[in-house]
Amino acid sequence: MTDSRLFSPLQLGPLRLANRIVIAPMCQYSAEDGNVGDWHLMHLGNLALSGAGLLIVEATGVTPEGRISPFCTGLWSDANETAFARVLTALRRHAPIALGIQLSHAGRKGSSSAPWTGIRQLTPAEGGWQPLAPSPLAGRPGEAPPAALDAAGLARIRDAFVAAARRADRLGFDLVELHAAHGYLLHQFLSPLSNQRGDAYGGSLANRMRFPLEVFDAVRAVWPAGKALGARLSATDWVEGGWTLDESVALTRELQARGADFVHVSSGGLDPRQQIVAEPGYQLPFAARIKAETGLPTIAVGLITDPHQAERVVAEGTADLVALARGILYDPRWPWHAAQALGARVSAPPQYWRCAPADAPHLFETP
């Protein structure tokens, strides 16, 4: 066995992870009234047995209109909490993986259809709703403009994040990730492309960061110190005049000062004019700079599918953890295969120990 850095443990704030592999949040568009169901039990159960160190549940709306679509998960009601409890009980019984949840408000990207039906804004007659945003600026051509949030609306959403975090704590989640990326509400406040307010929440960088930081502070106040809290960021909008990497470094410093344990570094998603050349590791420079300039633990994501590349990311200090999304949907046993390729060992349930390949008889960790 080799001394793989990818498969070494990590202390992420108060949370100890068995290895540096993270399963990123991935929307399934399969909930009913925000309630997770049998699909999520199967989907998350499969991923929980993957051998990764951390599984983060998909973007979960803190209010009904905070969902991306009518089919997205929520955590605003007792019914939502009860549905999650059923799934999490099964995961905890059979998988030692750390469990996180991404809390989100979709903002102007809400009231959308499921992607496999063609992404478009749904009308109220189709089960949609009036989206909310910092400013009444449509996200895509042809969409109706969202309603601009007033002070009461901001307070309501902030309090909804707090209530959802309390529910996540009761459910036993180990980690909360606030979604401030991919063009959703908190990112909409950050970017000058979507935030053109004239009050204390718009204009300067400090003003544009104000509401996301207020949400973070409010969640930090109720989220237990013994559990990890961080945020997902879009490091750049990839559009001239939009949110930048320099601003992401500044935001990370503010989050760090407020007790964040990590940032999960992605990019884009706000504006259809974005110009992205997606190739393996294309977002790694963003995570590397944020980590280098702040020292806050970073999760890197973005077409990192080769085990040796993932090993280099961690071994060279580019990022502290590597997250997989579509790649692990395609290969839910990616951590097993990575461990075999790197000469490492990985956790697996005893029911599967007999399946270790002949050239890696000690692949699985056993008592």
Contact between 58 and 25 (Cβ < 8 Å): yes
Beta bridge pairs of residue 10: 17
- Please state, in angstroms and rounded to a whole number, the distance separating the CA atoms of residues 213 and 315: 32
- Please state, in angstroms and rounded to a whole number, the distance separating the CA atoms of residues 156 and 150: 10
Beta bridge pairs of residue 112: 121
335 burial level (CB within 10 Å; 0-12, 13-18, 19+): buried
Region for residue 297 given its phi and psi (left: phi exceeds 0; alpha: psi -120 to 50; beta: otherwise):
beta
- Please state, in angstroms and rounded to a whole number, the distance separating the CA atoms of residues 314 and 21: 10
- Please state, in angstroms and rounded to a whole number, the distance separating the CA atoms of residues 197 and 71: 31
The token pair at 46 is 């499969």
- Please state, in angstroms and rounded to a whole number, the distance separating the CA atoms of residues 175 and 168: 9
| Active-site choice (29, 184, 282, 352) | 184
- Tell the residue number behind the tokens 């504006």, with chain if given: 271
Contact between 272 and 140 (Cβ < 8 Å): yes
29 belongs to the catalytic site: no
The catalytic residue positions are 184
